[in-house]
Amino acid sequence: MTTMFDEILERLSGEFIDDAIDRIDRVQVALENLRGGTLSRMDAMLDVSREIHSIKGSAGSFNFPLVTRIAGKFEDFISDTSDLADPPVREMQIYAEQIADLLERKAEPQGDDATALIHALPVAAPEFDPTGVSATPGQALVVTSARALGRMLARELANCGYHSDVLSDPFEAMRLAVTKQPDVILSSAVLDGLTGVDLMRAMLGMRQTASVLKAVVSSFDADHAELRGLPKHVGVVRLGAHVSDDLAALLTQVE
């Protein structure tokens, strides 16, 4: 039996979809104006970021978690390509088109189909160092509440051929790790709700993630009190001057 509250939620969901599609239309207009030279890059990216950030903040509440993830990756893509001489307008349009498609279908793919969709999105192409790690390309999960740290780790991983999902919620990270089973999991030592050590212990205790390569990212060495209780099979990636070398050493262990 449909209740009044169910009807209210259905109406609110419909209003969200209509509003979000209107926002995507404004994103596409801004990108076309940027391409045509009638809007500056700063103004265009401000318009795009405003609309995408709004969609990202609301989509999860209306059962569009994949839209939330794509919007977050869109924001990261804008940030990671901000220094390019020529803005990658077409790639940004692909993000917008994918969000619009999900909203218009009023449903999201699940499982492998959702994963394939995420992997098909454009990524910023960092300069690859051929003298660096030559690890097998794979999937990485980065868990941190520090957005700048998440972007930095994603770039480092991309240099080694890894596609990263960056999450701030450790509980959402556990759910994603179980369903997606990445090749490597990195977590900040400090998180919202529990510590990185707690998260790694939980990951080790779950059958689906027990054998996944894991490391805590910290400014301290492995014997520091902040990392007390860290399982011996979990690595430590030290921030600062050590991060690239520590990450390279870790990734050579991927089977």
Contact assessment for residue 12 and residue 37, using Cβ atoms and an 8 Å cutoff: no
- Residue 168's nearest CA partner among 183, 153, 156, 184 is 153
Answer whether 0.85 is exceeded by the pTM.
no
pLDDT of residue 128: 43
Q: Which residues pair with 218 in a beta bridge?
A: 238
Average pLDDT score over residue span 58-79:
92
Q: Which residues pair with 185 in a beta bridge?
A: 141, 214
Positive or negative: CA dihedral 110, 114, 115, 116:
positive
Q: Confidence class of residue 111 from pLDDT cuts 50, 70 and 90?
A: confident
List of domains in the chain? 4-119 (1.20.120.160), 138-251 (3.40.50.2300)
243 CB-near residues (< 8 Å, 6+ apart): 152, 156, 217, 237
Statement: residue 112 has pLDDT above 80: no
Count of CB atoms within 10 A of residue 215's CB? 23
Q: Confidence class of residue 165 from pLDDT cuts 50, 70 and 90?
A: confident
Pairing assessment for the beta strands 162-167 and 235-238 based on DSSP bridges:
unpaired
pLDDT of residue 177: 92
Q: Confidence class of residue 125 from pLDDT cuts 50, 70 and 90?
A: low
pLDDT of residue 255: 62
* Residues 20-53: tens digit of each pLDDT: 999 999 999 999 999 999 999 999 999 999 999 9
Q: Confidence class of residue 122 from pLDDT cuts 50, 70 and 90?
A: confident
* Residues 196-242: tens digit of each pLDDT: 999 999 999 999 999 999 999 988 777 777 788 898 889 999 887 77
Range in 35-44, 109-118, 129-138, 221-230 the model is least confident about: 129-138
Residue 86 tokens read as: 């020529």
**CA-to-CA separations, 176 to 117, 183, 195, in angstroms, rounded:** 15, 12, 18
Return mean pLDDT, the chain. Answer: 87
- 16/22 Cα distance (integer angstroms): 10
pLDDT of residue 83: 82
